[in-house]
Amino acid sequence: MKLTVFGATGGTGVEVVRQALAAGHQVTAVVRDPARLDVPAHARLDVVTADVLDPPSIESAISGRDVVISALGPRGRGPTTICRDGTEAIMVAMRRAGVHRLIVVSNSGMHTQGDGFFTRGIVKPILIRVLREGYADMSAMEERVGVSGLDWTIVRPPRLTNWAHSGRIASSTKGNVRGSFTIGRADLADYLLRAASDDSVIRTAVSVATGK
């Protein structure tokens, strides 16, 4: 596949780039600062410096690709619009380029379907208050993606870790994965790449977590 990855210098994005190259894909990594992309030069890697909020500057990085993966995420707990505005700009550029397949990373923390009583009634209300700014941004992003008309998949992980790639990934399209509250960024990247070639999750929100 030919993939374009946004948020490629972040913890999840860089794992997507590494694993995609290892799997033989052609990868375009869109970054603001190429020096922050911790991936060696590769014949199948194109690094494009662009502002994700500017559709014309990213359209050429999307044109001719099969799938766009966005691992954009907020930094810190303050007010942010990077997910909603960045994803909106990506979708504008995708329509202009005639590319339809979009996978975005959101989170399972702001959703309660599938959670047990303790998580839903005690843990999540605290979590939602503490992370309300980032969650508001991702919630708005999900709403915009859902009405975009593109072939989208929203992937909702719980708390992210830097654990090594395990391949143990549980997923659910009917709510959060119950009894599992973390996933390694490497395993999340693994799932994002699986979803890229899985038509069954088109126009679907999927919760993922570390499996048993």
Residues 9-55 pLDDT 10s? 999 999 999 999 999 999 999 999 999 999 999 999 999 999 999 99
Single out the residue of 64, 52, 65, 143 nearest to residue 92, CA to CA: 52
pLDDT of residue 94: 98
* Separation between Cα atoms, residue 17 and residue 4, nearest integer Å: 9
Choose the weakest-confidence range: 116-120, 169-173, 191-195. Answer: 116-120
Sign of CA dihedral 56, 58, 64, 67: negative
Single out the residue of 185, 102, 179 nearest to residue 146, CA to CA: 102
pLDDT band at 186, cuts 50/70/90? very high
Residues 131-174 pLDDT 10s? 999 999 999 999 999 999 999 999 999 999 999 999 999 999 99
For the chain, domains (ranges, CATH) are: 2-210 (3.40.50.720)
* Separation between Cα atoms, residue 29 and residue 14, nearest integer Å: 9
